[in-house]
Structure 1
Amino acid sequence: MTAPALFQPLTLRGVTLKNRIGVSPMCMYSSEDGFATDFHLVHFGRFALGGAGLVIMEATAVDPAGRISPYDAGIWSDEHIPGLARVASFVAASGAVPGIQLGHAGRRASVREPWFAGAPLGDDAVEQGYPEGSPWVTQAPSAQPAGPEFPTPAEMTADDVRGSIEAWAAAARRAVTAGFRFIELHGAHGYLLHSFLSPLSNFRTDEFGGSVEGRRRYPLEVVRAIRAAVDDDIALSYRVSSVDGFEGGLDIDDTVDFARDLKAAGIDIIDTSSGGITTDRSMDTRVRRGYAFHADFSRAVREGADMPAATVGLITDPHQAESLLSHGDADMVLLGREMLNNPNWAHHALAALADSHEEWDIRYGSAIAPRAGTLARLAASGETPLTRFSM
């Protein structure tokens, strides 16, 4: 019997995923000085044990100034490699492809954790318990803040931009040394790559601004530098904000055209997200959130740029995910919050779609057949979990 689309392998360059279920990169704000810890080993390792074909580690800063918060993971130093290597090694040994997202938050850096609303760090950050050096000066293509409450970033010089390109390439080399086989560049949500691309944040007049070609120059040079820095069998992904969602910003046609350039530069799959170019809520957003709300964007990219695309965003049900793939909306699905809720989502999806537990780790086998048989017997007898309380 043909496997469900969700459980057919996907090959990207020299990397083959056993299924088309990926764990979307999610910042966990659990590092000090960028170092991966036992938390990261267990956190990402359990997704691999849960059956996902791809586990992408959270946005990992290529430069200290590019951390979203002081507690972001980092890869700007060779000293970060051993901790990251433990994570990649366990993920690979557990049957998933180890991936990592490289990022630079640009003008949206130097903020508090999301449970503190992601507000910019104030001058009293150290007194409030944040590490020395908080807050720090953020960087951007132009000296325009990310929103009304954000500080004005430092406009990067041409030399800053070129130095940043090398920082991305060096980070990619470290990622490969650590054992990651899939590298994603975070080019969405108003972070540095996105802020160079969007006309709402890039007002430069030099070679890295102005025209569409100028605004694309920095992200494309980053991609080319990374492609040249890693082995040809390493898969590269690029996360886009498919639309800015604001008047005068990027729309899906812009993104499809940019995806063609990314493909030519060496990107193997586009990860379609949206929004984030500004935090100014007074501007009229056009992004409506709903189940699988980026699927139209991933379909447009895969058809318009003739390349694989992943979709993310409120994908919760195995049948929903299967439908997205079988109808051509995407080549793979990425799950974030749903994986936090259920790290075994991929195993349960296989059971739901193919009535199979063959991928379940044998060490967890007691959770499957005996339990299922007992529950079936109780259901046939009319007994429910609440029976004892209704007597």
Structure 2
Amino acid sequence: MTGSVPKSNYSDAAEEENNKIPILFTPLKIKNMELKNRFVVSPMCQYSSKDGYFNDFHFGHYTSFAKGGSGLIVIEATGVVPEGRITYGCTGLWKDSQIEGLKRIVDFSHEFEAKVGIQLAHAGRKASNEVPYLDGARNSHLTIPFDHPSGNGWKVYGASPIPWNEVMAVPIEMTIQDIENVIESFKSAAVRCIKAGLDFIEIHGAHGYLISSFLSTTSNKRTDSYGGSFEGRVKLLIEVVKAVRSVWTTEKPLAVRISADECVREADGITESPLNGWGINDSIKLASILEQYDVDLLDPSSGGNNKLQNIKPVPLYHVPYSSAIKNSIKERSGKLLVSAVGLIDNAENSESILQSGSADLIFLGRPFLRNPFLPVEFAKQLNLKIDYAPQYQHARNSSLLYSSK
């Protein structure tokens, strides 16, 4: 046990010193989950698992964010089936024995009033890759063959037999039975999430992985009920949402991550029809549908589904997507929450996004890797005094913990 932990980010003295609490540091209630602030650790693959199990690395990694004051920690893309992993080093939740290591992370994080979620995923045609932090692997995108002597590869499945690039495997087009099995696997993984004590589930529908590849006309050439029209291409995602919701009951928060824009245009050399693939207007339309199926949060990112994507990462480059979707929700008086992600690395920008109404939560990735105590750093940037892990209170003489007033 860690001992008593403050239930909010603020002591009485802090509240007296601060004139106005920034939105970034205010609570947010989503269904039965109340976050102490708007900081979310974005799901980031660590490629440090063996056979999908959560181990000591994951425990140390994720609980550092809990001690650092994050409101919500979203655990990395976790395969609902073995062949749904991006690499052999990815975490999984396809069998009950994988629950224990995950539950250990959740229980300890709860000691610090942090909520914990997980991103349930299937990598589709981008599965069976080498662990990217190994020498030369990051940009190779080379599929490990299913019969490789290392045993680290497997057969790759997708919406259509279209590889992501010339050196990745041609995926096996999924049969209706394959699709139904995957949907059932998402449902079974959600049951394990309940047993692990998780607070939040995000379904991974972005970055060219399985669900994302079904959404786009550039990767989905099916002629059955899971292809063709917009309604056909979103069918897999909707059925996954419904399956998860059948066990992850309505009082529990559910999110979906999407690539709001595939980021391909006619000028990029795309010859498919329609030329632009999946775009922001499709995402706005999808948002209204997802809300009808009891999705609470949409997490817009971009790209990842096409090798010809044209993306120029600059600070806040995903925020216009969040803002466009959020505005469409406001126009129809919807309740769907929206997050912002993508090169957000300081407190001023985070707060301005929330103040402008472009998003309700800030998902931060690499900044948390650089500093697990990011809320403390951002508090300093905003001249705000906050409480944090009581075991570290003796460090309060540090200028990081006091306002400059």
TM-score higher than 0.5 here?
A: yes
Q: Which residue of 2 aligns with 1:385?
A: none
Q: Deviations over 1:115-139 (max 9, x none)?
A: 2125324449855xx4x2x321111
Structure-1 separation of matches of 2:253 and 2:284: 20
CA distance in 1, matches of 2:372, 2:180: 40
- Does residue 303 of the first structure (1) align with residue 349 of the second (2)? no
SS in 1 for 2:282: helix
Specify which of 87, 105, 110 is matched with residue 128 of structure 2: 110
- Secondary structure (helix, strand or coil) at the match of 1:73 reads coil
Tell me if structure 2 keeps the 8 A contact 1:111–1:121: yes
Matched residue, 1:312: 341
Do residues 43 (structure 1) and 61 (structure 2) align? yes
Deviations 1:150-192 (A, max 9, x none): 1101100011111111100110110111011110011000000
Per-residue CA deviation, residues 237-296 of structure 1 (Å, 9 max, x unaligned), is 100101001132111011010111111112100111000002x2xx3x343211111101
Q: 2:247 aligns with which of 208, 224, 229?
A: 229
Question: Once the 2 structures are TM-superposed, how far is the Cα of residue 233 of structure 1 from its aligned partner?
Answer: 1.9
Determine whether 1:119 maps to 2:137.
Answer: no
1:216 maps to 2:240: no
1:257 counterpart residue number = 285
1:344 equivalent in structure 2: 373
1-structure distance, mates of 2:288, 2:144? 41
State whether structure 2 residue 34 is matched by structure 1 residue 16: yes
Matched, 1:363 2:391: yes
Letter in 2 for 1:251: G
Q: In the alignment, is the contact (CA less than 8 A) between 1:45 and 1:90 conserved in 2?
A: yes
Q: Please tell me whether the aligned partners of residues 49 and 95 of structure 1 are also in contact (alpha carbons under 8 angstroms).
A: no
Q: Alignment partner of 1:229: what SS?
A: coil
Question: Aligned partners of 2:73 and 2:25: how far apart in 1?
Answer: 15
Is the aligned partner of 1:321 residue 2:343? no
> 1:245 aligns to what SS in structure 2?
coil
Contact 2:24–2:38 (Cα < 8 Å) also in 1? yes
The amino acid of 1:346's aligned partner reads: P
Stretches of 4+ moved more than 4 A in 1? 123-127, 370-374
CA distance in 2, matches of 1:102, 1:124: 23
Give yes or no for the alignment of 1:288 onto 2:312.
yes
Q: CA deviation at 1:215?
A: 0.5
SS at match of 1:369: coil
Deviation at residue 354 of structure 1 after TM alignment = 4.5
TM-score (norm 2): 0.87
* Unmatched tracts of structure 2, length 5 or more: 1-18, 266-275
1:273 counterpart (295, 301, 308): 301
Q: Give % identity.
A: 38
Q: CA deviation at 1:53?
A: 0.3
Asked if the contact 2:54–2:98 (Cα under 8 Å) also holds between the matched residues in 1, the reply is yes
Deviations 1:41-74 (A, max 9, x none): 1100000110110001100100101000001000
**What is the one-letter code of the residue matched to 1:97?**
K
Q: What letter corresponds to residue 120 of structure 1 in structure 2?
A: L
- State the superposition RMSD in angstroms: 1.8
Residue 63 of structure 1, aligned match among 65, 69, 81 = 81
Take 1:347 and 1:7, find their aligned partners in 2: how far apart are those partners?
11
| 1:27 and 2:56 aligned | no
Count of aligned positions? 366
Partner of 1:381: none
Q: Give the drift of 1:96.
A: 0.7
Distance 1:40 1:298, change over 3 A: same
* Gapped regions of structure 1 (runs ≥ 5): 377-391
- Equivalent position SS for 1:266: coil
SS of the residue corresponding to residue 114 of structure 1 reads coil
Report the more deviating stretch, 217-226 or 348-357.
Answer: 348-357
Q: Using a 3 Å threshold, how does the CA distance of structure 1 residues 271 and 86 change in structure 2: closer, same or farther?
A: same
Any conservation in 1 of the 2:74–2:117 contact (CA below 8 Å)? yes
Q: Deviations over 1:300-352 (max 9, x none)?
A: 11121332110111111111111111011211101111000011011222233
Equivalent pair of 1:4/1:354 in contact (CA under 8 Å): no
Classify the secondary structure of the residue corresponding to 2:202: strand
